[in-house]
Amino acid sequence: MQSRFQDNFVAPNLSDPRLASKRAYRMMIDGRSVDAQSGETITRESPGHRGKVIGEWPAGGAADAELAITAARRAFDTGARPRMSGAERSTILHAVVAKILDHVDELGLIECLETGKPLEQAKGEIGYCADLWSYAAGMSRGLEGATHNNIGENRLGLVLREPAGVVGIITPWNFPFIIVSERVPRAPGAGCTVVVKPSEFTSGTTIRLAELALEAGLPAGVFNVITGYGPAVGQVLAEDPRVDVLAFTGSVRVGTALAGLAAAGVKRVGSELGGKGPQIVFADADLDAAADGIAYGVYHNAGQCCISGSRLLVENSIRQPLLERVLELSRKLPFGDPLGAATRFGAMVSRNHLEKVASYVAAGVNEGAELLLGGDMVDAKSGNFFLLPRFSTRCAPTWPSPERKSSGRFWPPLVSTRPRKLSLWPMARHLASRPASGRADLENAIQTTRKLRAGRCWINSVIDGTPELPIGGYKKSGTGRELRRFGFDEYSQFKGLHMILGRGQPRFQHS
């Protein structure tokens, strides 16, 4: 069996030629590359290479958001996109796929340097995004409503699918290209226009995607990108009545605030608010496979993943041998320089985030958590944002609650709790909000997932995905669904059309 993890720290190479130059970006509004009206910019240093500025983009604000919304509204109300045939939409989306595939190396490098994730992971994500666009391109040609031919001899009913209008999309910093690719192709695929606000940390690939889409034939005004800090732009997208749908991915706190602003205008809101959950391992598991899945589930993207399995629930009979296997993999995990060929665990996104995570771990240890691995920041004196992978037992009271995803919980520590009087199954059902992992009896695993109030589960896998399956949350993990056909439904309106065939019976008679 080939494991995803091997040996240790990969020191940053500041002389790497890929760090030699800074990329300058501009926003995309109405098919034109523009600066912020204020003239202000945001510079981005690579989180794994202190002092290396790798990107600069406009610090857009409310006035820029107003211009982008105007462009998107005009493109929807008077432009060609909503009136294109499904075949025309599909052709353009397929052309975007070709552009993405032609630029995998470029886009992967940008994503790596801005997020701090390993280069090979970033390039793999770009390839996966091409598949997301390809699936949307094919499905956009087959979108349909419904007919009802059984509602009466002289009656016929039609359900018409229509584009919802202008869509505001706000994306986070951890998977910028994936999350924009989960949403954007379905909105124009359904006939909508979009205004995207990416994170101020990781705006480069979203801007490049909009530029490539324009080159591929997507009409001006259909795909607009505003860069800058969140509050001003996000509030405009939530409150402006010209925006028909708001799609947000991020924290519960911000998502709740935006939904409140949107509610005043009865605006439709789709949200993915995360909810890192447990990995559940039953006694019949293949321990080597389970350990590898557990390590991948918590350390992927340096733990900065809303679907990470940061809690581990294990039946007591296999607990000790499984923990030993996970510890061994964790000790050998190659981490450090995002550009390193062997790196599997890159940098944290910012110093503030790094220090916040480290403070939570320290507070937990002070209050009784047993730290089995890790304990300090790595290469901190050099100013790089590396955190040694951590593994502990007995979660402490000060650690953030499982129900809340904040920057404090976007972390790589893995916490394993020991079932006591409760059997594993009731405890798992009570705590679980995400994946099941390990090679377990299939019936046991399926019956477990059927009872979980969670939008996405895995059996014998973790952090896996495909365009054919929906994503979305239960409870405070969010509302709405993306991918498959459900993603198109998020950006569609459905109109009932009732018809009487022939003259029909009089309904109101004059005496």
Distances (CA, A) of 102 to 107, 126, 212: 10, 11, 10
Confidence tier at 214 by pLDDT (50, 70, 90): very high
Q: What is the pLDDT of residue 187?
A: 95
> How do residues 151-162 score in pLDDT, each as one tens digit?
998 999 999 999
Classify residue 235 by burial, with Cβ atoms within 10 Å: 0-12, 13-18, 19+.
middle
> How do residues 114-130 score in pLDDT, each as one tens digit?
999 999 999 999 999 99
Q: What is the mean pLDDT of the chain?
A: 85
CATH topology (fold) of 13-273+473-496: Aldehyde Dehydrogenase; Chain A, domain 1 (3.40.605)
Which residues are registered as beta bridge partners of 382?
A: none
| Highest mean pLDDT: which range of 167-171, 252-256, 372-376 | 167-171
> How do residues 479-492 score in pLDDT, each as one tens digit?
878 888 888 999 99
Contact 391, 374 (CB under 8 A): yes
What are φ and ψ of residue 10, in 5° steps? -110, 105
Classify residue 470 by burial, with Cβ atoms within 10 Å: 0-12, 13-18, 19+.
middle
Q: What is the pLDDT of residue 457?
A: 86
CATH 3.40.50.300 fits domain 278-451: no
- Could you write out the DSSP letters of every residue in 338-391? TT-TT-SB---S-HHHHHHHHHHHHHHHHTT-EEEE--SEESGGGT--EE---E
Which residues are registered as beta bridge partners of 160?
A: 495
> How do residues 296-338 score in pLDDT, each as one tens digit?
988 888 888 888 887 888 888 898 899 889 888 888 888 889 9
68-72, 118-122, 210-214, 381-385: least confident range: 381-385
Contact 97, 130 (CB under 8 A): yes
> How do residues 36-59 score in pLDDT, each as one tens digit?
999 999 999 999 998 899 999 999
Q: What is the pLDDT of residue 387?
A: 61
Look at residues 40, 55, 67 and name the one whose alpha carbon lies nearest to residue 226: 67
More confident residue, 243 or 406: 243
Catalytic residue (one of 112, 192, 305, 306) = 306
Residue 285, pLDDT > 80, answer: yes
Contact 287, 432 (CB under 8 A): no
Q: At 18, is the secondary structure helix, strand, or coil? A: helix
What are φ and ψ of residue 138, in 5° steps? -70, -45
Which residues are registered as beta bridge partners of 371?
A: 392
Active site residue 305: no
Distances (CA, A) of 469 to 134, 143, 191, 364, 464: 15, 17, 22, 37, 10
Could you tell me the pTM of the whole model?
Answer: 0.88
> How do residues 454-487 score in pLDDT, each as one tens digit?
888 888 888 888 888 888 878 888 787 888 888 8
Mean pLDDT score, 492-502: 93
Catalytic residue (one of 45, 211, 272, 315) = 272
Q: What is the pLDDT of residue 477?
A: 80
Instruction: Name the packing angle between helices 230-239 and 62-78 (round to 10°).
Output: 40
Query: What are the structural domain ranges in the chain?
Result: 13-273+473-496, 278-451
Mean pLDDT score, 95-100: 98
Active site residue 306: yes
* Cβ neighbours of 41 (radius 10 Å): 17
What are φ and ψ of residue 415, in 5° steps? -115, 125
Q: What is the pLDDT of residue 56?
A: 97
Q: Do domains 13-273+473-496 and 278-451 have the same CATH topology?
A: no
Residue 448, pLDDT > 60, answer: yes
Confidence tier at 510 by pLDDT (50, 70, 90): low
Look at residues 464, 393, 407, 406 and name the one whose alpha carbon lies nearest to residue 435: 464
